[in-house]
Amino acid sequence: MNIKIYDSVDLLYKEAAAFYKEKISHQPNMILGLATGTTPIPLYKKLIKAYKAGELSFKGITAYNLDEYVGLEKGHPASYYFFMRDNLFNHVDIDLNNTFIPDGSIEPNEAIKKYQEQLDTVTIDIQLLGLGSNGHIGFNEPGTPFESHTHMVTLAEKTRKDNARLFEKLEDVPHTAVTMGIKDIMRAREVVLIATGKNKAQAVFGMIKGEISESLPASVLQNHPNVHVFLDQDAASLLLNK
Ligand code: F6R
């Protein structure tokens, strides 16, 4: 793992955006694996800014997202379909026909089959990941087999609580989601994982220094040959102390 620890969150995102700009300029038709949640928002903001400044184009990019809640219509403001349009796609020149995300509005088994078929046709060049405070990646919660492909998950209560801020109230947070599997994530040529804040410190420590175990899904990344980890001081605090 290539681990970088930044003094400021702003610098972290500047460097992460520079990483993407460089990669995309060399390979303008790359296939990106994208994430939702709080973590990627500052990165997307910087990429939008770069696009508006003429430094970057998404015209040739294809994007696959990690996951989606089950049971939310596409227009629901907390759906990841909506999130991606709102936070990135609507502000850059990506062809929306080249953006893929599990369909949370249809029967889950159908959504899983459809998404896996789409994923199986490609190799993701760079998979972006945030990190759950319990060590999840995508919505692969602790205990998910490393061999998993796209599947439906029951969200851990911790995850529902962590994500409740995006809903009016906790009861509105869906109990299930469809996520790319760990095996699918590991198939990406390169992985970028960003984690900031003290509430990620334990998971970061386990991911990097812990044993490789399905009880901390992100620890599987120790087996990936090309992972870039961007951390702020808070997320890295346990690594620095021990
Ligand atoms: C989002 C995703 C999740 C988040 C994780 C961290 O597509 O797959 O694994 O990356 O829950 O969420 P935030 O960034 O909100 O702390």
How high is the pLDDT of residue 203?
98
Q: Mean pLDDT, consecutive 10-residue segments, the chain of 242 residues?
A: 97 98 97 97 98 97 97 90 97 98 94 96 98 95 96 90 88 95 98 97 98 98 98 95 58
Atom of ligand 1 lying closest to residue 138 CA: 8
How high is the pLDDT of residue 241?
63
- Domains in the chain, please, with CATH? 2-241 (3.40.50.1360)
Whether 191 and 228 have beta carbons less than 8 Å apart is answered as yes
Those residues whose C-beta lies under 8 Å from the C-beta of residue 22, and which sit 6 or more positions away, are none
Residue of 136, 150, 231 to mutate, ligand 1, most atoms within 8 A of C-beta: 136
Q: Is 100 helix (H, G, I), strand (E, B) or coil?
A: strand
Whether 23 and 128 have beta carbons less than 8 Å apart is answered as no
Q: Taking the model in full, what pTM does it have?
A: 0.96
How high is the pLDDT of residue 242?
54
Taking CA atoms only, the protein residue closest to ligand 1 atom 9 is: 138
Tens digits of per-residue pLDDT, 108-157?
999 999 999 999 999 999 999 999 999 999 999 999 999 999 999 998 88
Atom of ligand 1 lying closest to residue 35 CA: 7
How high is the pLDDT of residue 163?
85
Instruction: Report the separation in Å between the CA atom of 120 and the middle of ligand 1, taken as the mean of its atom positions.
Output: 23
How high is the pLDDT of residue 13?
98
Whether 64 and 94 have beta carbons less than 8 Å apart is answered as no
Whether 78 and 47 have beta carbons less than 8 Å apart is answered as no
The ligand 1 site (C-beta within 6 Å) comprises 35-39, 66-67, 130-132, 136-139
Residue of 12, 66, 88, 151 to mutate, ligand 1, most atoms within 8 A of C-beta: 66
Nearest residue to 231 via CA among 1, 7, 36, 42: 7
